[in-house]
């Protein structure tokens, strides 16, 4: 009987040790997971340049404003550039790197060939370097510029979290990860969720389409040979489709041809959402927002309230722009140190 009791006690002791080890492993795993998932957000702060480069945001804002006075398409270009940067390897300014040798960079990937305005960030970086050498990342400058672009277009302002690092890797092949204008709702949801962004973020950030211009190639699929049954996307009003077909003839020799995202293409407003409800947006991915109850409800909400849209957009921009995986502060935005 005593031997059996001793054996039982030994088993309990062993179980306790195993349990403690399992608990310790579980806790360590959780710590690692939490630190891995939240470290980019923790690394950023609102006062990051308070002592090292206090005037940086003013320098960037003035540079973006000067560029916009010369070219009204600059704000939309900078906002789109920031989005395209953040969706590949996080907001690390990898989209600004130039192709070198055998490496074809992101900016030369098919999805990014229509990006423009790189000179604005490059010139602004030179001004910032003159004031605070080696302190401010290109990724932060692009994040400031995207915010300033929205403000200059009549949209909301917000405090940009700071402290991003610039990445050393940029591959054109990775731009296939960008959400395409032909995406359906499930493809959009997957693309955003892979980056920790919700359905709310998807609809709010899609509102960035309220400013800018699109080339015919991005919506050609909706106005000709849509599917086996319809030549034109049936969700598109015939008169709107006809106007786009006029802008984009079959033999479209002018690759610059296209249409503005909405009639008030330089004003950051909620017109985009009103157009979705009328079927008058350019992309399949825009109209796809009506094919899911959650996103459809948000479209109606933002169409009826500019204030609701702006609040959601700001929250989602801060969330998206906090994705960061860079390693250095680049001296020149076009090349790694």
**Is-contact 320 208, C-beta < 8 A?**
no
DSSP 246-297: HHS-SS---TT-EEESSTTTTS-SSHHHHHHHHT--S-HHHHGGGSSHHHHH
**Is-contact 55 131, C-beta < 8 A?**
yes
Neighbours of 28 (CB within 10 A): 10
**Is 249 known as a binding-site position?**
no
**Is 85 known as a binding-site position?**
yes
**Is-contact 231 241, C-beta < 8 A?**
no
**Is 262 known as a binding-site position?**
yes
**DSSP bridge pairs for 213:** 260
3-state secondary structure 15-52: HHHHHHHHHHHHHHHHHHHHHHHHHHHHHCECCCCCCC
**Is 52 known as a binding-site position?**
no
Q: Tell me if residue 84 is catalytic.
A: yes
**Is 55 known as a binding-site position?**
no
**Is 210 known as a binding-site position?**
yes
**Is 258 known as a binding-site position?**
no
The structure tokens listed for 165 are 């690092």
**DSSP bridge pairs for 34:** none
Helix or strand or coil: residue 133?
coil
Is the Cα torsion angle 272, 276, 281, 286 positive or negative in sign? positive
**Is-contact 165 137, C-beta < 8 A?**
yes
**Is 92 known as a binding-site position?**
yes
Task: Determine the Cα–Cα distance for residues 78 and 62; give it in Å rounded to an integer.
Answer: 14
**Is 129 known as a binding-site position?**
no
> What phi, psi does 100 have (nearest 5°)?
-145, 130
Of 48, 82, 84, 215, which residue is the catalytic one? 84
Taking the alpha carbons at both ends of the chain, their separation in whole angstroms is 75
**Is 90 known as a binding-site position?**
yes
The annotated binding site for Ca(2+) is made up of 85, 90, 92, 94, 106, 210, 262, 269
The annotated binding site for heme b is made up of 209
The annotated binding site is made up of 85, 90, 92, 94, 106, 179, 209-210, 262, 269
The annotated binding site for substrate is made up of 179
Active site residues: 84
């Amino acid at each position: 009987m005593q031997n059996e009791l001793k054996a039982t006690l030994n088993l309990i002791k062993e179980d306790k040790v195993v349990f403690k080890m399992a608990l310790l492993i579980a806790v360590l795993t959780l710590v690692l997971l939490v630190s891995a998932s939240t470290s980019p957000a923790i690394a950023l702060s609102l006062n990051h340049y308070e002592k090292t480069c206090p005037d940086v945001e003013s320098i960037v804002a003035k540079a973006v404003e000067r560029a916009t006075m010369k070219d009204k398409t600059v704000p939309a270009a900078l906002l789109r550039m920031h989005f395209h940067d953040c969706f590949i390897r996080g907001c690390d300014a990898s989209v600004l790197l130039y192709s070198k040798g055998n490496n074809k960079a992101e900016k030369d990937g098919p999805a990014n060939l229509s990006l423009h305005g790189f000179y604005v960030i490059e010139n602004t970086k030179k001004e910032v370097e003159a004031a605070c050498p080696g302190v401010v990342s290109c990724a932060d400058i692009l994040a400031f510029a995207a915010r300033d672009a929205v403000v200059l277009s009549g949209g909301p302002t917000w405090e940009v979290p700071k402290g991003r690092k610039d990445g050393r890797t940029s591959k054109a092949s990775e731009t296939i990860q960008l959400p395409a204008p032909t995406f359906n709702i499930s493809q959009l949801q997957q693309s955003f969720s892979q980056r920790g962004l919700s359905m709310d973020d998807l609809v709010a950030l899609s509102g960035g389409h309220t400013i800018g211009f699109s080339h015919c190639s991005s919506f050609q699929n909706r106005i000709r040979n849509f599917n086996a049954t319809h030549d034109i996307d049936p969700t598109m009003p015939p008169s709107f489709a006809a106007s786009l077909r006029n802008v984009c003839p079959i033999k479209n020799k002018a690759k610059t041809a296209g249409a503005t995202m909405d009639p008030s293409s330089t004003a950051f407003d909620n017109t985009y959402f009103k157009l979705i409800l009328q079927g008058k947006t350019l992309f399949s991915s825009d109209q796809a927002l009506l094919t899911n109850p959650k996103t459809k409800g948000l479209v109606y909400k933002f169409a009826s309230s500019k204030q609701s849209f702006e609040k959601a957009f700001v929250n989602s921009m801060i969330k998206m722009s906090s994705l960061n995986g860079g390693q250095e502060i680049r001296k020149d935005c076009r090349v790694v140190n």
